[in-house]
Chain A
């Protein structure tokens, strides 16, 4: 089983204490202290930017181990749709599913049709007309955590429709425990993930008390064995099981492409997401119904734990979807009846993730703000990150919180040493 709340960790054996991860982190959650990188868990959104930035293979993703499969009577794989895009456009999803079975999973599950159903549920929720607007997709767990940390006022904008991966696992556990006549706990359901954010959402889910998934493997770690199994497995059969509309969820724009509502937007990449969320907070875009948002630049195909490059992956997904044809896989009546059962509802309210405030009240906050401004004046404002914080302002914050000292700044230190040297010179007659 996965341990700890974060799926990202730094391997002290590999970390050389450079500051690439610190500079790459969009939420300023990484510090280099004592020559090693550390994550501040309260600020981490598990986006994986540090893994991308690290050149020494020190930032790593924590995943399930193959031994975990043996803990269950039936081990099931739910591959992310991005998995289908890893082997070129001529490999069919059915071949990938069969390969997963041959490398050790007792059962596999395609979740493309569940994505198509969630698109229908999203449409239904939007048509109920309950603000605040716009509603924001919860598919990308890093977006959900970003809102929890930075934009608590937008929590009510998150759409309360559960993700396709959690719903898939929920359905599957029920179905398989009946089929195998065993306890639901004896079914082990593993997601094959393109990113660290989903990995963390299995251990530390938002919007439900416990994930319906039992663990997760990365696409990258299964890639080699799968490629071999696909080559040995022969041609495809049974592709009709896959929903072309659902398949497009692997890339940005895919979620809204399958919806009826056209008053929608897609935003991707952390800086663009920040730009849009800032504006929503300021009351803009309230005329938009739904915003599909991803922390990664092209949606899930650009996740940090994939192998195929995101452009090639998008080409494959589009080719496969086109080959499958355009018709809907899911009957509308099915979605309507599940809606009546509240099948799609998020189980728990999504709450803000409290970050320790820097002050207890306004007076103290203003005093702290002045102290901060005074500290910042003493710093060079070169934002070199040599101190281990990503910029001078963050070092000032850390000093205020008692987590760093002003002398962590090399410029401040040199300054002091120079002054001391000059005063020593003066003392010598």
Chain B
């Protein structure tokens, strides 16, 4: 395990559309302050936003942990919620369980998890239906 130089935790509330995206924005500001490369920040911002909105749309509550190591940024996002019954299916582009209300807000295109995968170097999903989901993803500085 790499040495963690910087860590911070953020709470995300389910169904809080008003503040949806705030955590991703705060993480982005921190990464900018740390002087990380633009591409790393861009990829993480996209992944964090998708992950955060997944919590807002589908879970009761989640906690995003930011960990900065000498050569990568690691994100662990654990939520308490309905979980994902079939992860393989959820990873397919276009697959979505979004309600019409969510779709009306511009979400639910079925691109969330695939988008996280596309913008990160490592992605691990564990989920217990009815209990919650944990996402772990990593973006390497020279990836």
Say yes or no: A357-B35 contact (C-beta < 8 A), given A362-B70, A363-B5, A366-B5. yes
Residues of A311-364 whose CB lies within 8 A of B: 357-359, 362-363
* A153 touching B42 in the complex, CB below 8 Å, given contacts A362-B68, A366-B68, A369-B6: yes
Q: Is A254 an interface residue (CB 8 A)?
A: no
- Taking a contact as CB atoms closer than 8 A, the residue among A283, A366, A369, A372 that contacts B42 in the complex is A283
User: Which chain A residues lie closer than 8 Å to B46 at the CB level?
Assistant: 282-283
Question: Is B34 in the interface zone, CB < 8 Å from A?
Answer: yes
Whether B35 and A358, one on each chain, are in contact in the complex, defined by CB atoms closer than 8 angstroms, is: yes
Contacts A281-B45, A363-B5: A369 and B38 contacting too (C-beta < 8 A)? no
Let me know if A359 and B35 touch, CB within 8 A.
Answer: yes
Q: Mark B37-49, 1 if CB is under 8 A from A, else 0.
A: 0110010011001
Q: Give A360's nearest chain B residue, CB to CB.
A: B35
Q: How far is the CA of A363 from the CA of B68 in the complex (A)?
A: 10
Residues from chain A with Cβ under 8 Å of B34 in the complex: 362, 365-366, 369
- Residues of chain B within 8 A (CB-CB) of A282 are 24, 28, 42, 45-46, 49
Q: Which residues on B sit within 8 Å (CB–CB) of A152?
A: 38
The distance from the CB of A227 to the nearest CB of chain B, in whole angstroms, is: 48
Contacts of A281 in B (CB 8 A): 42, 45
* Min CB gap A305→B, angstroms: 33
Of all chain A residues, the one with the shortest Cβ separation from B119 is: A283
Chain A interface residue number, banded: 10 to 19
Q: Which residues of A contact B35 (CB under 8 A)?
A: 357-359, 362, 365
B33 adjacent to chain A (CB < 8 Å): yes
State in angstroms the CA–CA spacing of A358 and B36 once bound together: 12
Given contacts A282-B49, A369-B33, A369-B34, contact A362 B5 (CB under 8 A): yes
A366 and B39 within 8 A (CB):
no
For A153, the chain B residues whose CB sits under 8 A away are: 38-39, 42
How many A-B contacts are there with CB distance less than 8 Å? Answer: 40
Bound-complex Cα distance A72 to B34 (A): 51
The minimal Cβ–Cβ distance linking A27 to chain B, given in whole angstroms, is: 14
CA distance A97 to B24 in the complex (A): 52
Output the least CB separation between A333 and chain B (Å): 41
In the complex, which residues of chain A have a beta carbon less than 8 angstroms from the beta carbon of B6? 366, 369
Closest B residue to A370 using CB positions: B6
Chain B residue at minimum C-beta to C-beta distance from A357: B35
In B70-109, the 8 Å CB interface with A consists of 70
Which chain B positions have C-beta within 8 A of A363? 5, 70
B contact residues around A362 at 8 Å (CB)? 5, 34-36, 68, 70
Nearest-CB distance from B122 to chain A (Å)?
Answer: 19
Q: How far is the CA of A372 from the CA of B29 in the complex (A)?
A: 14
Chain A nearest CB from B49 CB (Å) reads 6
A282 to B42, CA, bound (A): 6
CA distance A247 to B34 in the complex (A): 45
Contact with B along A359-384 (1 / 0, CB 8 A): 10011011001001000000000000
- Chain A residues within 8 Å of B68, by CB: 362, 366
Tell me the bound Cα distance from A365 to B30 in angstroms: 11
In angstroms, Cα B131 to Cα A347, docked, is: 59
Tell me the bound Cα distance from A278 to B46 in angstroms. 12
Convert B1-28 into 0s and 1s, putting 1 for each residue whose CB lies closer than 8 angstroms to a CB of A: 0000110000000000000000011001
Query: Closest Cβ of chain B: how far from A374's Cβ, in Å?
Result: 14
- Which residues of chain B are near A357, meaning CB under 8 Å? 35
Encoded as 1 (CB less than 8 Å from any B CB) or 0, chain A from 292 to 311 comes to 00000000000000000000
Chain A residues with CB under 8 Å of B70's CB are 362-363
Q: Which residue of B lies closest to A361 (CB)?
A: B35
- In the complex, the chain B residue whose C-beta lies closest to that of A358 is B35
Which residues of the partner chain A approach B24 to less than 8 Å between Cβ atoms? 282
Closest to B37 in A: A153
Query: Considering the chains assembled together, what is the distance between the CA atoms of A58 and B91 in angstroms?
Result: 60
Bound: A358/B34 CA distance, A: 9
CB distance from A232 to the nearest CB of B (A): 57
Min C-beta distance of B138 to chain A, whole Å: 15
Provide the bound-state CA to CA distance between A152 and B32, in Å.
Answer: 12
What is the distance, in angstroms, from B47's C-beta to the closest C-beta of chain A?
A: 10
Residues in A neighbouring B39, C-beta threshold 8 A: 153
| Nearest B residue to A278, CB-CB | B25
CA distance A17 to B24 in the complex (A): 38
* A–B pairs, 6, beta carbons within 8 Å: A282-B42, A282-B46, A283-B45, A363-B5, A366-B34, A369-B30
Closest 9 CB pairs of A and B: A153-B38, A365-B34, A282-B45, A366-B6, A365-B35, A283-B46, A366-B5, A357-B35, A369-B33
Interface residues of chain B, those whose CB is within 8 Å of chain A, are 5-6, 24-25, 28, 30, 33-36, 38-39, 42, 45-46, 49, 68, 70
Known: A359-B35, A362-B5, A369-B30. 10 other contacts (CB 8 A): A153-B38, A153-B39, A281-B42, A282-B42, A283-B45, A283-B46, A362-B35, A362-B68, A366-B34, A372-B33
